[in-house]
C-alpha cells in the first residue's frame, strides 16, 4: 500500500445518481463512516455535484433531505433511445482511438440543439447553493474538450469557477449544451470514463461510488478501474443494488425518480457500511 491518504471517487449517473449517492453518503454517515473526510475527491458528471457539496462540508443529512423534497423547478430531460443512438453512432463511426472518439462526441454535442448554456449553468449553480472550491482537501472535476477530445481535470488553482467546472462535467453530449471555460467548450467527463477512478492512483484508501457501471466507446469501466487500484490500495467499490436500479428507472435524468433513488441509496448504505468502513476507517 502506498500510504493512508483517502480518496473518494464519485461517478456519473444523472439526477438519480446524485440522489442515490446523497442517500448512500447520509446512510454511511449514520453508520459512523464519514466520506466527507477525504484527502482527494474526484467528481465526474453527477459525481462532481455530489463531490463539490461534500468537499464544501455540507451536512449529508441535509443533502439527502434536499432530494426528498418535490423537484419543483427541475428541468426534466430524456436520455432516450434517440440520444443514446446519437452517442453510439458518434462513438463508433470512425477510428477507435479514445481521444478521437471523444472529439466526435464533442462535435455532435456542439451541433446539437440543447438550449442556452446560461440556463444550464443556472441549474448547476442552484444545486451547489453558493459553494466554491474548498480551501482544504483536493477536489478534482473532470471534463472533456468538445473540440479536441482532450481530457481535463479542473481544480481550485485553474481559475475556473466551481459551478462552471461542474456544469462542464455534467454536459451530457446531445442532452445539455457544452460549457465555455478556459478558451474552449467542454462536455461531460463521463465520456472518458463514467468514474475516472484511475485519478485516485497513489492513495492508500479508495472508495468508489459508481451509479453507472458502463462506458462509452470502449472507455474503461469503473469496476475495472477499481480493480486496478486494488493492486496497491484498499478499495471499496459500491454500485447500485437491485432496489436502487429499480428506483433509477429507465431515465436517469428524470427528477421524478429523485426521491426514490435517494431512499434506495439510504437503504443500501446499511449493507455496504462494514465493507466501506474497513477501507475508510
Taking only the tens place, the pLDDT of each residue in 195-245 is 999 999 999 999 999 999 987 767 789 999 999 999 999 999 999 999 999
Mean of per-residue pLDDT scores for the chain: 92
Query: If you search the block for the grid coordinates 455496504, which residue do you land on?
Result: 272
Per DSSP, 38 falls in state -
Candidates 48, 145, 188, 193; catalytic one: 188
**Burial bucket for residue 15 (CB in 10 Å: 0-12, 13-18, 19+):** buried
Instruction: Quote the cell numbers at residue 134.
Output: 474548498
Residue pLDDT, tens place only, 21-72: 999 999 999 999 999 999 999 999 999 999 999 999 999 999 999 999 988 7
pLDDT of residue 74: 72
List 45, 215, 244, 261, catalytic entry: 45
Quick check: is 180 catalytic? no
Closest CA to 79 of 197, 227, 183, 194: 194
Whether 188 is catalytic is: yes
pLDDT in tens, 154-189: 999 999 999 999 999 999 999 999 999 999 999 999
Strands (E), the chain: 6-10, 40-43, 138-145, 151-154, 179-181, 184-188, 205-209, 234-238
Amino acid at each position: 500500500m502506498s500510504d493512508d491518504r483517502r480518496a473518494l471517487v464519485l461517478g456519473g449517473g444523472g439526477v438519480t445518481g446524485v440522489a442515490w449517492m446523497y442517500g448512500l453518503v447520509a446512510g454511511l454517515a449514520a453508520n459512523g463512516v464519514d466520506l466527507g473526510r477525504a484527502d482527494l475527491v474526484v467528481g465526474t458528471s453527477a459525481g462532481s455535484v455530489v463531490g463539490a457539496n461534500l468537499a464544501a462540508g455540507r451536512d449529508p443529512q441535509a443533502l439527502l433531505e434536499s432530494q426528498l423534497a418535490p423537484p419543483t423547478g427541475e428541468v426534466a430531460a430524456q436520455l432516450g433511445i434517440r440520444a443514446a443512438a446519437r452517442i453510439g453512432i458518434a462513438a463508433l463511426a470512425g477510428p477507435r482511438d479514445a481521444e478521437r472518439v471523444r472529439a466526435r462526441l464533442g462535435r455532435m454535442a456542439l451541433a446539437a440543439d440543447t438550449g442556452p448554456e446560461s440556463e444550464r449553468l443556472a441549474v448547476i449553480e442552484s444545486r451547489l447553493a453558493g459553494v466554491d472550491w474548498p480551501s482544504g482537501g483536493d477536489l478534482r472535476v473532470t471534463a472533456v474538450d468538445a473540440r479536441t477530445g482532450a481530457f481535463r481535470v479542473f481544480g481550485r488553482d485553474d481559475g475556473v469557477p466551481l459551478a462552471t467546472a461542474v456544469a462542464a462535467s455534467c454536459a451530457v453530449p446531445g442532452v445539455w449544451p457544452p460549457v465555455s471555460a478556459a478558451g474552449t467548450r467542454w462536455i461531460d467527463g463521463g465520456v472518458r470514463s463514467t468514474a475516472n477512478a484511475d485519478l485516485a492512483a497513489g492513495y492508500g484508501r479508495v472508495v468508489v461510488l459508481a451509479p453507472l457501471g458502463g462506458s462509452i466507446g470502449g472507455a474503461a469501466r469503473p469496476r475495472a478501474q477499481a480493480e486496478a487500484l486494488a493492486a496497491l490500495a484498499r478499495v471499496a467499490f459500491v454500485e447500485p443494488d437491485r432496489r436502487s436500479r429499480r428506483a433509477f428507472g429507465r431515465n436517469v435524468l428524470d427528477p421524478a425518480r429523485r426521491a426514490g433513488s435517494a431512499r434506495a441509496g439510504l437503504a443500501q448504505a446499511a449493507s455496504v457500511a462494514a465493507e466501506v468502513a474497513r477501507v475508510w476507517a
